[in-house]
Amino acid sequence: MAEFTMDLNDEQKEVRDWLHGFAADVIRPAAAEWDEREETPWPVIQEAAKIGIYSLDFYAQQFFDPTGLGIPMAMEELFWGDAGIALSIVGTGLAAVGVLANGTEEQIGTWIPQMYGDANDVKVAAFCSSEPDAGSDVASMRTRAVYDAAKDEWVLNGTKTWATNGGIANVHVVVAVVDPELGSKGHASFIVPPNTPGLSQGQKFKKHGIRASHTAEVVLEDVRVPGSCLLGGKDKLDERMARARERAEAGGGERVKNAAMATFEASRPAVGAMAVGTARAAYEEALEYAKTRTQFGRPIIDNQGVAFQLADMRTQIDAARLLVWRASWMAATGKKFESAEGSMSKLFASETAKKVTGQAIQILGGNGFTREYPVERMHRDAAIYTIFEGTSEIQRLVIARTLSGLPVR
């Protein structure tokens, strides 16, 4: 088991510096343009593909880092460059992880390469779970999947929302209800192959932040996919649902819910790392500005009102990173989140990003309020961290329930 340490090894430092260079040289110069255009930055994704960042192999290598620090380190550096472009680069990973977690070897080998394409013809993928009436409350999901045994096909109907790359993806992974009586245990995931009839893009959202990342509704109208597109296969689904029915009859629903919560807990530190990257970027901009901006004959950092803000900003960023690294290390080494450490890391880091980016605007004054300086964009981007992958309110609920053992409402 890897011991927890704050010292990155030589290989990790090399990867960090490589990612930082890409973020500084390729992502940052393009950030303002693609934020204004509110379009997927295909040329930047292609550049990432050319050097191996936009690939399953790269993220797999970071995921299997025995210290658990590979993914949070990568997320922090890319999102330090720009949150919208970085999300366009890493967004396909949501769908890829869904296939890796639930698919067969044949499904993994068939579909994941089609999610990424290659450096000459990059593709993206979309993971479609949230719905207009089912965000945090996944049990309210309405998209249905009905099996047509005569044709060995699944028929999908429903509307998904807030889907990163939704509608423009080459491959969509869709979560749908197979058995409504089983709640979240009656859900299954399906591959929708390229150009499948019945799948269309609904509303494309014009967002407050992360505007270079495409977010849209995905509409499914009698979408037919082969039986082989059910992730894990029908035999595995039937066995899983049979066990769920048995547990429900025996009163084991709470244990099922806790198992699902543990899965989310393990993924939340990655979002925390994204928030740390954005916060760090804003802090560095504010620090440099405070050192060079003079008022009343001296740099504004000489004033305690500014200097103390910067001290607090840096302290909060380092604390957020520590929580993210602790949770990531715990997940990688199989330690239980007995105090909802995954939610703690996501909660604190996301709230820190909102606060720090706001303080950065205040330090830059009127300049910070304009799009001539990047902290304005960073502040808009930071707002998403307290919303997606579970709102801050949901994180607090998870933490409170874990600590108390009671159904806090």
Count of C-beta atoms within a 10 Å radius of residue 58: 19
Residue 129 φ then ψ, to 5°: -125, -55
Residues 6+ apart with CB under 8 A from 119: 46, 49, 50
Please check whether residue 96 is in contact with residue 59, taking contact to mean a CB–CB distance below 8 angstroms.
yes
Count of C-beta atoms within a 10 Å radius of residue 340: 24
The active-site residue, picked from 105, 376, 389, 393, is 389
- CA-based radius of gyration for the chain: 22
Distance CA 214, CA 206 (A): 9
Residue showing tokens 């934020």: 35
Distance CA 357, CA 355 (A): 6
HSE at residue 357, side-chain half, CA atoms within 13 A, is 29
Tell me the sheet residues that pair with 134.
131
Distance CA 104, CA 83 (A): 32
User: Which two three-digit tokens encode residue 19?
Assistant: 């990612």
Please check whether residue 61 is in contact with residue 122, taking contact to mean a CB–CB distance below 8 angstroms.
no
Tell me, yes or no, if 389 is annotated catalytic.
yes
Active site residues: 389
